[in-house]
Structure 1
Amino acid sequence: MSKMIRVSELPDFDVTEYLEDDQAIAEYLACVLEEDDPDLLIAALGDVARARGMTEIARKTGLAREALYRGLRDGASPRFDTVMRVMRALGVQITAKPVQSIQEPNASAH
């Protein structure tokens, strides 16, 4: 008979432990962007900033460390300018690509 494990007994998962290099960070943020959830993106930027060192990111953005923590916390709505400054400091950028739309069955018959 196997022993049941309670969720409360599981160790906390911290994604920052896996954001070890630029490639991992870029892949993480790319996956988050595909979710089309602004709150998730802000949380992910906070994760990456913590992985890189919040003090260093604050220095690179010119923002106070405390302001950075507040702006990237759950439920925050930072200005787009702040998001772009953080992304630049992290060494990543947003790229645009066409959205794959679902065509209606007869759409190509015109």
Structure 2
Amino acid sequence: MPLKTTRFDILDHLKTPEERIAYLDAAFEEGDPAFITVALGDIARSVGMTTVAKQAGVTREALYKALGPEGDPKLTTLLGVAKALGIKLTAAPAVARPNRRAERGARRGSAKVDAASSEVGKRLRGH
């Protein structure tokens, strides 16, 4: 007996604002600009491209092009789409990745790394 499968459609999973935000957040976490663009397109389609385009101040065709697989939306388009979707884009510090060079230098007893770090710290603090 053959296994019955159904076609996956992301739009089935983007029915609520919470689902849309979770999807976009996952795209940003991934960090791939193409994925973020496609995710925004999926979310716009779940709301309605004509509605989103009108509220974003672009044509529907331009929105499809900007948010399609080959799209690379301008910042103004991105901000307009976010506003139309009721999404607030914010910035947060990235999780600090360990500085492997500094760790290796410190293990070797390198005074240069400590001195450089100290100098950079002074400059950042305005001393």
TM-score under structure 2 length normalisation: 0.72
Residue by residue, what CA displacement relative to the aligned partner does 1:23-72 show, whole Å, maximum 9, x if unpaired? Answer: 11111111110001111011000000000011110111121111111111
Distance 2:95 2:58 in 1: 37
Cross-structure match for 2:6: 11
Q: Which consecutive residues of structure 1, in runs of 5 or more, have no partner in the other structure?
A: none
Aligned residues: 103
Q: 1:25 aligns with which of 1, 20, 23?
A: 20
The aligned counterpart of 1:75 is 70
CA shift, 1:11, in A, is 3.0
Work out the CA distance in 1 between the residues paired with 2:71 and 2:97: 33
If each structure's helix is expressed as a fraction of its own residues, which one has the higher value?
Answer: 2
Report the AA paired with residue 24 of structure 2.
Answer: L
- C-alpha distance in structure 2 between counterparts of 1:31 and 1:85, whole Å: 20
Deviating beyond 2 angstroms after TM superposition, the runs of 4 or more aligned structure 1 residues are: 9-12, 102-107
Name the residue aligned to 2:120: none
C-alpha separation between the residues in 1 aligned to 2:49 and 2:21?
18
Q: More deviation in 75-84 or 96-105?
A: 96-105
Unaligned runs of 5+ in 2: 108-113, 115-127
Is the aligned partner of 1:60 residue 2:69? no
* Structure 2 counterparts to residues 27-42 of structure 1, below 5 A: 27-42=22-37
User: Aligned equivalents of 2:9 and 2:61: distance in 1?
Assistant: 21
Letter paired with 1:53: G
Relative to structure 2, which stretch is displaced further, 63-72 or 42-51? Answer: 63-72
Shift of 1:4: 6.7
RMSD: 1.9
TM-score (norm 1): 0.82
